[in-house]
Structure 1
Amino acid sequence: MSKKNDLKLLRTRYLRGPNIWTYRPVMEVWLDLGELEDFPSNLLPGFNQRLTALLPALVEHHCGVGERGGFIQRLEEGTWAGHILEHIVIELLNLAGMATGFGQTRSTSQRGIYRMVFRARDEQVGRVALQQGHALLMAAINDEPFDVKAAVEAVRTQIDDCYLGPSTAAIVGAATDRGIPHIRLNEGNLVQLGYGAAQRRIWTAETDKTSAIAEGIAGNKDLTKTLLKACGVPVPEGEVVDSPEAAWDTAQDIGLPVVVKPLDGNHGRGVSLELSERADVEAAFKIAETEGSDVIVESFIPGDEHRLLVVGGKVVAAARGESLCIVGNGRDSIVQLINDQLNSDPRRGDAEEFPLETIILDREPAMRLLLERQGLSAESVPSDGQRVLVQRNGNVAIDCTDDVHPDVAHAASLAARVVGLDIAGIDMVVTDVSKPLLPQRGAVVEVNAGPGLLMHLKPAEGLPRPVGKAIADHLFHEDETGRVPIVGVAGSHGTTQIARLVAWLLHLSGKHVGLGCREGLFLGSRRIEGGDRANFEAGQRLLMNREVDAVVLENGAASILNDGLAYDRCSVGVVTDLHGAEAPVAPALAEHDIHEPAQMFKVLRTQVDVVLSDGVAVLNASDERVLEMAELCDGEVILYDIDHQSPALVAHRAKGGRTVSVDGHHVLLTHNGQVPVRCADLNSAAARRMTAGIADQPVPGSSVRCLLAAAGVAWALGISPELISAGLETFAPSTQK
């Protein structure tokens, strides 16, 4: 078979919010198959066998068949390169540890041009997976070698570089399980949970409740000990020293053996335990000095190191450390024995997802000192059966949460409160954590702000603990969702004026409203930016604003297609019509292969798809296609139309639904069989000024329908008919800076 030309990636777009494909972020890729349009998989000799040899787990892909082996069946029947690329990319992501199941490939109106999408939690990870998948596909088609292991490693490296750390991811995951949305605020682990004024922020395991003063105290071990001791928390006696000689003098004063460690170190680096000889103490000083600004000498507390995680004043998880030993065989050096007996443990690794660190003696001077005290070095060859102590303490990854004695838990909780931390990792040395602290001379040796959670999420031994949930529950009470009212307005007729009028009504109801529309970006009644701000970026900016307690966003079809919606779910979603795709006025939509109103249904239904179960969709009943969206809504539906007796409104009311309509010259709010409520007089001077100000309406009656839609949104949000009437009377259509 002759070599096939490469398929072309015409453009790649990351859809960050809910979109026409799914609620979640996806990578959308436009492909030109070229000559491969004439060569589905069953017409490429040997291709299926080569592909499945490279990626055997493709047999697990159900594809549209809906069962194991479904994708293989499609390959054998004959499927096209775009669809195959979709599954290759998904499998590379799976192999790299970012489980992915969603993907779709659809043809366009142009022969050989396809749109392929796949779930992508991070844009850069998605791009690397696409690049590697593209190369793998062409290698399999043209019977060329391909290094799958290297491709997976490239994707995994990008995941490590871009994805949230395990502690942050656990908290975000727990918040997501509760329906609390999140926005990543930087490339690291600063994350906003919730929207607007209802938001909270986390940075790894620190929160916006974490006091800067408390964090500063925790970073100074000597000050921490002073405060803890004053409040009755047992701590080891100790003193900050400034030289090896002073370290030895202090060790003699407080009594041998002692511990020497950096004053502001972390992860146990530079800590030397149970020192009794002058040479060891002075050597330990030099090791600790390289890790922190000052060095502290403390009395040695017998027992094992424990980490107790305190969240909101309660101990929610605990882990125990253990000593590490190797056993000689008379042949191998200590370095080789460490690699064979310790680093071979699958729980050890350098990436954040491993609960135990890889031991590299070159970066662990405290371990080298411990070996020296045993008369050994990294190159020494222990005799057969000789036990060598490599790490005296640390390695805190054995879950013991269920064993913690109430007295021990009380001491840990008190330590966190004394320092002032809402979330703290309390390091405690105790012989038996299931017994009271004082009788066994246990003590708190350190208080950590922003503690790592991995030892509790993936302990080396024992049960994982739901610490992410504990922190999410600490930040948000049981009845809190982290949400503010969000109104999305989609369509082409009058959407700007509907959005502005809704924002005005919310403003009158006492809300501090953020508005993004084609006339600009507004906070309250003040326009802070002009130009078209009916887009994803403007919406995200409003959702990040801690002063905003209601958000109104105009969503054009092009914005949905380019980026997706700025929010995951909304309280109220409005759809006015399915126009806007008519040529030649819509090149932005033609770019997405949208050419006629019928295609707009799938685009604008996105606005209805994201309405919360306790939310409301407000739909224009005069448009039959918009009316069809009612059945897609998870929440309630309010219909609006000028004719109070239109068949759609009558039928909706008969089923117990709410409608907004006109009778004579009054706007009526009608619910089920109740007496309609009049909320506006269309003959009033203010109403006439307002409808006259809505000048961009090509459809007769559109200006009045704008009022009806806005009234329906206000009604859905619980604004009283009297306030709706007042708002319609006082709204000024012209933009005020």
Structure 2
Amino acid sequence: MAVEVPTPTGPARPDLKILETRIYRGPNVWSYQQAIHLVVDLGSLEEYPTVSLPGFTDQLVELVPGLDRHTCSRGRRGGFIERLHEGTWLGHVAEHVALQLQTLAGHDSRRGKTRAVKGEPGRYNVVYSYTDETVGVAAGKLAVRLINHLVDAEDGFDFEAELNAFLRQAERVAFGPSTSAILEEAASRDIPYIRLNSASLVQLGQGVHAQRIRATMTSKTGALAVDIASDKDLTTKLLGSAGLPVPKQEAVRTVRGALEAARRIGFPVVVKPLDGNHGRGVCLDLTSDEEVEKAFDIARAQSRRGTIIVESFVTGRDYRCLIVGGKMQAIAERVPAHVVGDGTHTVGELVEITNADPRRGVGHEKVLTKIKVDANALAVLAGQGHTLESVPADGEMVKLALTGNMSTGGISIDRTYDAHPDNVEIAEEAARIVGLDVAGIDFICPDITYPVRETGGAICEVNAAPGFRMHTHPTVGEPQFIAKPVVDLLFPPGTQSRVPIVAVTGTNGKTTTSRMIAHIFKGLGRKVGMTSTDGVVIDERLVIKADASGPRSARMVLQNPRVDFAVMEVARGGILREGLGYDRNDIAVVTNIAPDHLGMKGIDTLRQLADVKAVIVEAVPRDGFAVLNADDPHVRNMRRRCSGGIVWFSMAEPGSEVREFVDDYCRRGGRAVVLDPSERGEMIVIKHGRRSMQLAWTHLLPATFGGAARFNIANALAAAGAAFAGGAPLHDIRQGLRTFATTYYLSPGRLNLVQVGNADVFVDYCHNAAGMKELGVFVDRYAEQKQGQSDLGRTSRIGMIGAAGDRRDDDIRELGEVAAHHFDVVVVREDARLRGRRPGESAQLVAEGARKAMADGARCRQVEIVLDELEATRHVLARTNPGDVVVMCVDNHARVVAELEERTNSAQAGARLGTPGAGTSDPDLDPSTLTETAEAEGDEAEGEALATVPSEAQPAALDDTAV
């Protein structure tokens, strides 16, 4: 159906611009896979769909071949061309062009979608898949330039030159053919990989199961074996001493030494660098002193250490035997770069015709390499009596190189099933003697089908990190799938490559829940790697202090070789910025969805916030679980997005609507963690089908403070559900919850109790209204408990609170209103980072909310503002009396706890000396200074952004574009 063409108000101008670029490196709000996200502004082109731009479609299809294969939303070949002729907007065109440019670069990128930015006419979210992020971003930029050029020609813009530059850039950053073959095999086995540098160093697997490769060298390749293989003289001696056929050989460092060695060995000889590779500097079939002298200079130019090898020239064909794990896997006959005469064309013309083969490219860009005509090639031609202007006879083979390396333009013929068993045994023995797990054995012999000991021949080289291209893409013969035995070597069948990943998200409680889960599995003997808003923890060691709830920290954990279990706290900021830092999580835990961070990055409603948090639920595989809060309707709705099983947790009372929903689910074989009240208290019960398993009394869990901290009961339910889904035994779950306390060392900044002068001071991170409601309920219940246990008079409640400056005004005021209902005195402070606010502005908004609640009859009787957090802490302590309950909602918990401990220690020292304790804070005691710091990457690191998430719940697959 054609679009309705708007009436333009002026001439079309090249106004298409990229306003923002995001790179999603894992599942995200738009896609299950990694994707590039461009926010583009069409400007005046919003009035110009493609049907209103004469000649645009024809020029585009001519310049970017392959667009006719795009199915688009039509689901059939040519669907996108139909859309172009009917009329579609240029943001959608940019998506398809970016995909096709990546395809031209050899990257398999097929999925994309384009959606309007809600409430901003002319702006679009353009999302498309990528293989390499550098190439993907460059493709988007070039697509935008091309579209603008077709709208109004840009002076000096040469698309062909720009495309060639783009293709060269793609070739530079691409994996080589050997690495690509291994990664494709790994991906087919669901083995994840992480690129560790801009070259070919790659990690396969995760955590304790990780292995590394660099091209075809692996974690199991011995450095000593590589050194031996690099020393051709030593290699020959070792092989010769084992009785294997090798040429006569001597190592020299001078021309005179080379001449003398050649005479002793006997002409013809070969001269080559001791430490060369890819056939560089190798000169063959030298029959005179003059040729040896010239060859010495050529070989020395390619030698790093200056040592040159002179060896006897073994005649025959050049064969490469690939040995993996001590077994022969493939054999290729290598034919040097050459052309075949036709009696008409010159050698130079034949080279051009040969290089025009679409299978040939520059370097390792394609399966064959273009023949390069250089001084060496001219010398080889001269040796055959030819020049570039010669016209060879029909059928005459004219060599342009003496070695059969693919990198110099040679071709390969598969001979895997032709080799004689004796020759296979010799090649395998050579690899074992050198000690290489992956080795390339170079045989020179008349025919590989006959034993070399009878026909003559020798092993001329043993190569570490042999190339796979000649075997995976032979010019003649069947390709050999040699990546399989390499991956088998690293990950034998039945071994694991992944560590279990538990992802935890939600508005409140995710940090404590993550710590509870990590604590339970630590008790099982697991080496747990955890990310949270406080930093990266590896096996209970804080290795980086930062807001580490984003994807970069997740990848850091998965790269650590000690980690065999991962717990990831996932913040909305990291999801919106980069997606998840991994491809899937085995267990997803969602604690709750409450108003926080609304009005930021296009997230204006709870439904949109739930769509972002649901990414971890969508990343659960079929054999995984989502642990969801049945009491929260937004979380409950996420069950439809989970491919795996569901474990519900609920604090609802038996007989309630939510509890009936959970019980009905369990009767059908499902799992849940619930509370069963009794006269003795509340029991945490794990239900699986019709079985009910009692876990622990809530009031006996240290983190609940006798059951007063209801939010920590909910966190314990979520943690128990995750541990049960992860296969933890019931006894270990119970023991983990019973030994987890909210001390500063187990759970810093989360309801830490410090006794200061007989007053109970709690330090917490609460910073939003929803969290303050839960914290207020705890204060009410705890104060009642304390009042009943104390002979002191009325217990006063003092709260120190503060709001992040990037929240909405109403949200900040609501924080003050809620606090006023639970505290007698409210002291308002501010964060060190004001996040765009003026000093004192956010504090005034909090105070306004508190005073409004006071006017409506709230509990609070006094509101004070002390902006600096440390000064506010000292102010609160100064007005605290014995028996009071104090809650400090802090930003920098390390400094505040250090101040509290200093006050406590001073008071104790004063008591011992019989003098009043009047301690002051020493900044040198700040625990935060003892830990490595890093740039924050979670919600605290967010800035303003233009991109938005889908306004409605969208399927996460990039389903609009199919190539």
| Alignment TM-score, normalising by the size of structure 1 | 0.92
Match of 2:689 among 639, 648, 672: 672
Deviation per CA, 1:476-508: give whole Å up to 9, x if none. 011234101111011112011111111111111
Aligned to 2:768: none
Deviates more, 1:223-232 or 1:617-626: 617-626
> 5 Å matches for 1:465-476?
465-476=480-491
In the TM superposition, what is the alpha-carbon distance from 1:541 to its structure 2 partner? 1.0
Query: Which residue type is aligned with residue 689 of structure 1?
Result: F
1:247–1:281 Cα contact (<8 Å) kept: yes
Residues 415-494 of structure 1 correspond to what in structure 2 (within 5 A)? 415-494=430-509
For residues 602-636 of structure 1, the C-alpha deviation after alignment (integer angstroms, 9 at most, x for no partner) is 32221012223322211111223322322432322
Match of 1:354 in 2: 366
Instruction: Determine the C-alpha separation between the residues in 1 that align with 2:99 and 2:382.
Output: 51
Q: Does 1:245 align with 2:260?
A: no
Q: Does 1:681 align with 2:691?
A: no
Which of 112, 115, 129 matches 1:119?
129
Partner of 1:320: 333
Aligned-residue RMSD, C-alpha: 2.4
* 8 Å CA contact 2:647, 2:670 repeated in 1: yes
Q: Give the Cα separation in 2 of the matches to 1:690 and 1:61.
A: 63
d(CA) in 2 for partners of 1:237, 1:632: 69
Query: Kindly tell me: are residues 687 and 601 of structure 1, through their superposed partners in 2, closer, same or farther at Cα, counting changes over 3 Å?
Result: closer
Asked whether the equivalents of residues 254 and 299 of structure 1 are also in contact (C-alpha less than 8 Å), the reply is yes
CA contact (8 A) 2:343 2:391 kept: yes
1:94-127 CA distances to partner (integer Å, 9 max, x unpaired)? 2232232111111122222221111122222122
CA contact (8 A) 2:178 2:467 kept: yes
The secondary structure found in structure 2 opposite 1:577 is coil
Query: 1:363-442 maps to which residues of 2 (within 5 A)?
Result: 364=376, 367-374=377-384, 378=387, 381=390, 388-394=398-404, 395=410, 397-442=412-457
Q: Work out which of the residue numbers 319, 340, 345 in structure 2 matches 1:306.
A: 319
Alpha-carbon distance between aligned partners in 1 of 2:310 and 2:619, rounded to the nearest angstrom: 59
The yes-or-no answer on 1:44 pairing with 2:60 is no
Q: For residues 88-237 of structure 1, what are the structure 2 equivalents within 5 Å?
A: 88-110=97-119, 111-142=121-152, 147-237=158-248
Residues 1:11 and 2:20 aligned together? yes
- 1:734 maps to which residue? 743
Within-5 A mapping of 1:574-585: 574-580=589-595, 582=596, 585=597
User: What is aligned with 1:531?
Assistant: 546
| CA contact 1:331–1:381 (8 Å) conserved in 2 | no
Find the partner of 1:254 among 265, 269, 283: 265
Distance 1:486-1:4 versus aligned 2 partners, 3 A rule:
same
Tell me which amino acid in the other structure corresponds to 1:113: R
Distance 2:69 2:489 in 1: 39
1:458-607 counterparts in 2 under 5 A?
Answer: 458-580=473-595, 582=596, 585-587=597-599, 590-591=600-601, 593-607=602-616
**2:689 aligned partner, one-letter code:** N
Instruction: Give how far 1:39 is off.
Output: 2.7
**In 2, Cα distance between equivalents of 1:390 and 1:5:** 50
Structure 1: runs of 5 or more not aligned: 695-700
If you compute each CA radius of gyration, which structure gives the higher value, 1 or 2? 2
CA shift at 1:332, angstroms? 7.4
State the number of aligned residues. 719
Q: Displacement, 1:511?
A: 0.8
Deviations 1:57-107 (A, max 9, x none): 322211112122222332333322211211121122222322321111111
How many Å apart are 1:163 and its aligned residue?
Answer: 2.0
Partner of 1:697 in structure 2? none
Contact persistence 1:328–1:337 (CA under 8 A): no
State the Cα deviation string for residues 132-154 of structure 1 (Å, max 9, x = none): 11111122233679644334323
Task: Judge conservation of contact 2:268–2:313 (CA < 8 Å) in 1.
Answer: yes
After superposing the two structures, state which structure 1 stretch, 717-726 or 322-331, moved more: 322-331
Shift of 1:642: 1.6
Question: Which letter does structure 1 place at the counterpart of 2:325?
Answer: G
Q: Secondary structure at the match of 1:668?
A: strand
Write out aligned runs for 1:633-652 (5 A). Answer: 633-643=642-652, 645=654, 646-652=659-665
Query: Aligned partners of 2:338, 2:182: CA distance in 1, in Å?
Result: 35
CA deviation string 1:282-317 (max 9, x = no partner): 322222222222111212222111111111111112
Q: Which moved more, 1:54-63 or 1:306-315?
A: 54-63
What percentage of residue pairs aligned between the two structures are identical?
Answer: 39
Change (3 A) 1:735 1:308: farther
Partner amino acid for 1:734?
T
Q: What SS does the corresponding residue of 1:279 show, helix, strand or coil?
A: helix
Determine the C-alpha separation between the residues in 1 that align with 2:43 and 2:744: 50
Letter in 1 for 2:131: R
The change in CA–CA distance for 1:495 and 1:403 in structure 2 (over 3 A counts) is same
CA contact (8 A) 1:196 1:548 kept: yes
SS of the residue corresponding to residue 561 of structure 2 reads coil
| Pairwise CA distance, 1:382 | 5.8
Asked if the contact 2:14–2:151 (Cα under 8 Å) also holds between the matched residues in 1, the reply is: no
Shift of 1:599: 1.4
Aligned to 1:477, what secondary structure does the other structure show? coil
Offset at residue 379 of structure 1 (A): 5.8
On the 8 A contact 2:699/2:707 being kept in 1, the answer is no
Higher mean alpha-carbon deviation, 192-201 vs 15-24, is at 15-24
Amino acid at match of 1:71: F
The 1:99/1:361 distance shift into structure 2, 3 A limit, reads same
Return the alpha-carbon distance in structure 1 between the equivalents of residues 375 and 633 of structure 2: 70
Deviates more, 1:238-247 or 1:558-567: 238-247
1:222 maps to amino acid: D
The alpha-carbon deviation at position 328 of structure 1 amounts to 6.7
Separation in 2, partners of 1:289, 1:344: 33
Higher mean displacement: 314-323 or 367-376 = 367-376
* Alpha-carbon separation, structure 2, partners of 1:670 and 1:607: 24
1:230 CA drift (Å): 1.8
Q: What amino acid sits opposite 2:145 in the alignment? A: A
Where structure 2 has 5 or more consecutive residues not aligned to the other structure, the ranges are: 1-9, 405-409, 746-926, 928-963
Q: Which sits farther off after the overlay, 305-314 or 398-407?
A: 398-407
